[in-house]
Structure 1
Amino acid sequence: MGELLRFFRFLYDQRRPLPIPTTSDDVSSKVFMVVGSNAGIGLEASVFLARQKPKLLVATSRDSTKCKTTREAILERTDSGDGEGSAMETWPLEMSSFDSVRAIADRLAVREDNQLNVLVANAGVLLDAFDNTQDGWELTLQVNYLSTALLSLLLLPYLVKSSTAGSPSRLVIMSSVAHYNGTKSLKKAKTWDRILETINVLNGTAYRNC
């Protein structure tokens, strides 16, 4: 019964209007980063933030081609013309690669002020087939969880550094109701010696049994 109620609640929530603010604070001194900006929530969030005219918006996508397309889409919807003087940069970030995640942190580290006020960790995947990353993890587990955690931890020092009592930094991690599907599999988690490795195997088994 609980799962059925959650399903109907999910359907109900899809019809709720988006809570878009009618007024906003001045963010001209703030730096935002949105992960997975090329489509869906990530794109809509990037467009909204770009319209607020921040000091800088960093919009990430999986590769340079998607970065170019994303930049064009955001500029078109924000009436920013050819982007001259636009406070926006698009950085490639492949969440299925830990090296790519670390490269983003390194890129921020070499910037003059290292400023980051808001990180929106939005990127995620939903697959219908099993696949491993180059790092040896099931793709969904790495992109949706491991790389998101790694990116958050690597950028946390910059969020802390940029935070003030009057204007605290923000870390926003996007998720979904899909985690409810893992309830039965995780009941024995307390008995596992290595939780992540066990989940990695369980994910592979689940795909192969579909």
Structure 2
Amino acid sequence: MFITRKHLSRRTFLKGSSAAIALPFLDAMTPALAQAKKSPVRLAFVYVPNGIVMEDWTPKTTGGDYALTRILKPLESLKQDMFVLSGLADHNGNALGDGPGDHGRAGASYLSGVHCKKTSGADIRAGISADQFAAAALGQQTRFASLELGCEDSRTVGNCDSGYSCAYTNSISWRTPTTPNPPEVNPRSVFERLFGTA
């Protein structure tokens, strides 16, 4: 604080007061677009390899005014921002002459739509997955372009399903046709990645 014995003129006092009174209104002078920072778009893919009771999952009606089913009811607060897709088929997850190995093929083709190469070696080949295409388009708005999360430890090498690599069985996200994104299964690791260590 600077204190002086010099008296302020009324004019100087009024100039200073008017500037102080106007300060709160300066925010109103910024452009509207600068004020409204839009939340980044979020996208989630959920994979349930052992299936869902479809009557309890799929809404009975189409359009935005659908009633949430028993399974979807916990997501009610997100309904206005959520789409439920149904009636889709993944024909490349079928055998197509490769014999057994439904779990491996299904995991690899779930988001890529590609019939993966049947191999238990390192010469895996699937396709870039939809989540990675979305991450390339939307990921610049967020700290991490994509997060791959899972529920159980899984390996990405070896034979896990009738001659199909464990990479197919345990990774639904593929950065490139030959690079799976293994899921992170440790909640603490995910937390520290997002928010740092304490």
Q: TM-score, normalised by structure 2?
A: 0.30
Q: Which has the higher strand share?
A: 1
Q: Which has the higher helix share?
A: 1
Q: TM-score, normalised by structure 1?
A: 0.29
